[in-house]
Amino acid sequence: MIYVSECKSPLGKITLASDGENLIGLWIEVQKYYFSNLKQEIIKKDDLEIFDKTKKWLDRYFNKEKPQISELKLAPKGNEFRQNVWKILKEIPYGETTTYGEIAKQLAKITKKEKMSAQAVGGAVGHNPISIIIPCHRVVGKNGSLTGYAGGIDKKVRLLEIEGVDMSKFFIPKTGTAI
């Protein structure tokens, strides 16, 4: 059984999902891969403790109060590769960015491989089921391209602006991706 609740944000409606104890999903309205990892029956239930905590966390985030990821019980569903990528995402500090290539290098070290594909990392980042909290918006292309945000590039820009990131070094690609 999967429980869902909705809340409003400066980015639009947000849908939260829980297994009853942990947060397993957070999607911005019209985000790609919405509920893609959830195959169980879904029931609306607003009174779960994890939903209350998450909504308060999001309010603080949008008020630029820098809440910690560790304050919430997260349990995103995904294979080992994706879990490793999402773990690295959680380590990107508030207000900072990294590249898909840098994450690939970190993963290569963790898995003791010579190298790892930045494009494979991009796929895992794009399928992050707990956006905003697991900060996939902090990942950019190596050339400064603001590419690859399932919630939309406009939302990625807004999240980085909320965090006080200097946006002058980034650009929105016209077509394609530059991972």
pLDDT band at 33 (very low <50, low <70, confident <90, very high): low
Residues in the chain: 179
Q: Return the bridge partners of 12, or none.
A: 9
The closest alpha carbon to 136, from 51, 69, 56, belongs to 69
Query: What is the value of pTM for the model shown?
Result: 0.91
Confidence check: pLDDT of 36 > 80: no
Domains and CATH numbers, the chain: 2-71 (3.30.160.70), 80-169 (1.10.10.10)
CB-based contacts of 177, cutoff 8 Å, min separation 6: 122, 141, 145, 147, 148
Region 28-57 average pLDDT: 83
Q: Return the bridge partners of 17, or none.
A: 4, 25
CB 125 within 8 A of CB 136: yes
CA distances from 124 to 13, 52, 102, 119 (A): 24, 28, 14, 9
- Residue listed under structure tokens 């991972």: 179
Region 132-136 average pLDDT: 97
Given the residues 50, 118, 132, 136, the one annotated as active site: 136
- Distance, C-alpha 45 to centroid of its chain: 23
Give the model's pLDDT for residue 7.
96
Whether 136 is a known active-site residue: answer yes
Region 15-22 average pLDDT: 96
Q: What are the tokens at 2? A: 């999967």
